Amino acid sequence: MGKNSITREKMRKRLIFPKEIIKGISVATLILLFLNVVTADVTQTTSNYSEGYPSLIASTPQESIEITSDYNFTDYGFPGTGTSEDPYLIEDYNITTTDENGIFITETTKHFIIRNCYVDAYRMGIFIDDVAEGTTTIVNNICTNNQYGIFVQYSGSSIVFNNTCKENNYYGINVDTSGLSLIDSNTCTNNDVGIRLDDSPSSTISNNNCTTNNFGIWLLLDASSSSISNNNCTNNNVGIYLWYSNDCVLSYNHLQENFKYGVKLESNGFNIIHNNNFTDNMYEGSSQAYDDGFRNTWYDTETLEGNYWSDYDGTGNYSIDGSAGSFDLYPLEEHEESSTSEIQFSFLFALPIFIIPSLLTRIISSKHTKKQ
């Protein structure tokens, strides 16, 4: 074989993607297709609600579920093998119990999905604690009358999608020390806090409906570099509250008739707040938002678009309450709109950011281990 043939053969091999990489991308595509089906199913499910209170979507009565090792998934007989391609499925259960937790999963490494369950327990409806990164998906469940509806901690890159958390004593959804998580399209009403993100940086909170809570959405203690967008926060005490969380972006949220502020920033900095709708918040104050942080920016620095304020008189800047002395330098005169189709599109195509890196990391680590 000539030298040129050898060179061409080497180049050909370099251009071929490893089978493991192709497999990883294929799995991510299948997950996207699955979640697209879930989104369609969610629309049908919500049509069964009556007067804002969800009907029971689960048909099988089930005692509380406790999983403390990978082996417990098979002990319960859940379908699946626990791989990313074939996760264990915990679905279609009605768990109404006086036990501490409805569904409790801890110290596992297998992939699992909890979906279409109705959970009413004494303390936590669904409690995920210290499981492997990127293995948790919680979708289309109803958690009501718990102290905490859904509680995820020490479990990074988790997905919490299209759940209803209503009338829980403390938090509808709480994600703690679980960075890079996605909280999307959930409904949280009549809790103390609708969605709480604690020490979970670089997470995404989008397309959620948080109404009639004390705090609609609350980020605290280094939930920094997170994105909060396209959420509806109405009739809360405070719509969105940031405390000790920096470098976040709040955009395209609808903040209406919150008793105090639509957005409140305390002890944080370098956040950007733009293209949000502030409508009839703060019944007794002079502004619909509050800022006592440092170097927060109330407009998009590239487009020079601020926020819509229902009480803006159309001239000059819009003044923000608080010791920071902030202003929206480019207030909008028209209400911002966002369509449901755009929200679902952005959610589905953002998922590879969470899924593909995790898959590729595991594949590369596996290959390295085999070589050793």
pLDDT at 336: 78
pLDDT at 313: 93
pLDDT at 122: 97
Closest CA to 307 of 337, 280, 289, 330: 330
Token couple for 238: 């405070």
Go through 196-208 and write b for each residue having 16 or more CB atoms within 10 A of its CB, e for each that does not.
bbbbbbbbbbbbb
> CA 203, CA 156: separation in Å to the nearest integer?
9
| Domains of the chain listed by start with CATH number | 19-371 (2.160.20)
Contact call for residues 288 and 281 (beta carbons, < 8 A): yes
Closest CA to 184 of 200, 214, 163: 163
Contact call for residues 318 and 342 (beta carbons, < 8 A): no
pLDDT in tens, 27-73: 444 444 444 444 444 333 333 332 333 445 547 999 999 999 999 99
β-bridge partners, 308: 277, 332
pLDDT at 56: 58
> CA 37, CA 204: separation in Å to the nearest integer?
21
Our measurement of the distance from residue 363's CA atom to the centroid of its chain's CA atoms, rounded to an integer in Å, reads: 26
pLDDT at 228: 98
pLDDT at 109: 98
Residues of the chain with pLDDT under 50: 1, 3-55, 58, 339-347, 349-350, 353-372
pLDDT in tens, 109-137: 999 999 999 999 999 999 999 999 999 99
- Residue type (1 letter), 310: S
* Residues in contact with 29: Cβ distance below 8 Å, sequence separation at least 6, in sequence order: none
